[in-house]
Each structure stands twice: as structure tokens, then as C-alpha cells.
Amino acid sequence: MGAHHHGDGHDPNLAHHFESADQQYQSAKLGMWVFLMTEILFFGGLFVAYTVYRVNHPEVFVYGAHFLDRGLGALNTVVLILSSFTIAWAVRAAQLKQISLLRWLILATMACAFAFMGVKAVEYNSKWKHGLLWAAKYSHHVEEADHDRPTAATDPAVSPDADPNRSAIPPAAEGPAGLAKPAGETDDTVAEVEPENAKVFFSIYFLMTGLHGIHVLAGIGAMIWLLKCLARGDFDGGHFTKVDMVALYWHVVDLVWIYLFLLLYLID
């Protein structure tokens, strides 16, 4: 090596190939945003699958959504918003070198993440008990289900006239006579009769919430890493980049859930 070391006497947080802390911070930040872009498109594929299936088979979604507990869904939304707030505050704490506060805020965010996964576990468990699983494992019996969804039969929103308009898509029966399924008939009886392929709703439900759950777990991992860095004293000098990056990621996890809650739980 020549006589051109840059590491010595430099800020240990500045990697040797960067000229300034700002360049390093902006690089990390741009990198994170590009990564988030890939995350959006990654989840996006599932949203495409969701949209295509819902537009073609709206009755499956109207039916399936009755089996999701919107109270628990709303609770999880609140939990995630809270965690988004705490991690945003954590960034502020890191920027202002409030190390002890930072620790508590990261812990609070993690607590929310665990709470989220706990609620999720309760939900998954009840689906499991009733056989409301993805298509290959779906073993639901309509008779038992009636106890599960007391609101379904009485829900004022389920009116025969309103339903076909709901998704702004003509019901599948508009093809040539005899070719398409008589979807119009299922609209009247949505609360009682299980539409064909109702199980696909649960396939989609498990795929989307499952992938989201994996992201929550990854977020928990990232926060454990933050705590490790904090213990090492990485943030003492006001180097908040790592906290900022994890926070950005976490907010996207929150954003995805905002849409999942709407699109899976609140269908009518």
C-alpha cells in the first residue's frame, strides 16, 4: 500500500471509500430508497394477483372477508401505527443523541412488532381450527361456519342490489349465455352459500399476510441489530444513519399493512 491511508485519524464511522460523512449518509439513504422501491414491486406482484382475482371473482372476497376478524385487524393497524410513531421518534432521538430515550423507543417499537405477531398468531390459529386455510388445505364446512360470522347474515351492507356495483366490475355472467358462471345468483345468497373457489381467498390472505409477517420478523431482527449497535456505542456521536434506515424500512412495513387491512378485512 502506498502512503495514502485515509482511515487513520478519521472518523471511524466514515468508510475509507467515501469523502465525507454527508456523501456516506446520502449514499445509504438513496440505497435504502431504491431498496424500498424493490419492496414495493415485490409486494406489488401480490397486489396484482389480488386485484385480478378480486375483479374476476368479487363474490369470493365478499364471502371470505366475513371470516376475518376486523376487530383484530384494526387492533393490529393501531399497533403498527404506534410502532411507526415510536421508530420515527427514535430517529429524532438518535439525531439528538438522546441515547437512553433511543433505547426505550427501539424497545417500544419491538414490543409493538411482537404484539402484532401475537395478534397475527391468534388469527392464524383460529383459521387453522376452522380449516380456513389455503386452497390445498382448505377444509371448511359451511354449517360450522355460521357460528363464526354472526354479522354476516344481518349485515345491512349486503344488499342484493348494491353488490354487483361494489367493485365497479360487471359480474362474470356477462359473457355469452352458457359460457360464464352464473355469478349473479350467488350475490343474493352470499351470506349463506359458499361461492365456488372461496378457498382462494384464504390462499391470497395467507400469502399476503404471510409475506408481510416475514417482513415484520425481519424488522424485529433489524431492531435487535440496532440495540447491539447502540450497546456498542455506535450512536453516541449522533450517527443516526442506521436508525434512519431501519425506520424507513419499518414505515414501509406499516404502509403495506394499511392497504392489507383495507383490502382483506374491510370488504363490505
Restricted to residues 210-239, the positions that interact with other proteins (CB under 8 A) are 211, 238
Q: Could you say which of 48, 153, 218, 231 contacts other proteins (CB under 8 A)?
A: 48
Instruction: Please report how close the Cβ of residue 126 comes to other proteins at its closest, in angstroms.
Output: 19
State how far the Cα of 210 lies from the Cα of 204, in Å rounded to an integer: 9
**196 contacts other proteins (rule: CB under 8 A):** yes
Residue 194 is given by DSSP the state P
**149 contacts other proteins (rule: CB under 8 A):** no
Q: Could you say which of 9, 100, 143, 156 contacts other proteins (CB under 8 A)?
A: 156
Stretch that binds other proteins, among 41-49, 106-114, 115-123, 227-235 (CB under 8 A): 41-49
State how far the Cα of 231 lies from the Cα of 96, in Å rounded to an integer: 17
Stretch that binds other proteins, among 121-129, 184-192, 217-225, 245-253 (CB under 8 A): 245-253
The cell for 205 is 390472505
Q: Which is nearer to other proteins, 67 or 240 (CB)?
A: 240
Q: Which is nearer to other proteins, 48 or 121 (CB)?
A: 48
Total residues binding other proteins (CB under 8 A): 102
Per-residue x/- mask for other proteins, residues 2 to 21, rule CB under 8 A? Answer: xxx-x--------xxxxx-x
Residues 54 and 207 sit within 8 Å (Cβ to Cβ): no
**209 contacts other proteins (rule: CB under 8 A):** no
Burial degree of 58 (CB within 10 A; 0-12, 13-18, 19+): buried
**162 contacts other proteins (rule: CB under 8 A):** yes
CA nearest 110: which of 154, 79, 152?
A: 79
State how far the Cα of 116 lies from the Cα of 110, in Å rounded to an integer: 10
Please name the residue ranges forming H helices in the chain: 21-56, 58-65, 70-95, 99-129, 142-145, 150-154, 162-166, 183-188, 199-232, 241-260
Q: Could you say which of 62, 68, 91, 132 contacts other proteins (CB under 8 A)?
A: 91
Instruction: Please report how close the Cβ of residue 72 comes to other proteins at its closest, in angstroms.
Output: 12
State how far the Cα of 163 lies from the Cα of 156, in Å rounded to an integer: 12
**193 contacts other proteins (rule: CB under 8 A):** no
Q: Could you say which of 114, 145, 166, 229 contacts other proteins (CB under 8 A)?
A: 166
**38 contacts other proteins (rule: CB under 8 A):** yes
Q: Which is nearer to other proteins, 220 or 255 (CB)?
A: 255
CA distances to 41, 184, 201 from 54, rounded to whole Å, are: 19, 15, 9
Per-residue x/- mask for other proteins, residues 116 to 145, rule CB under 8 A? Answer: ------------------xxxx--------
State how far the Cα of 254 lies from the Cα of 246, in Å rounded to an integer: 12
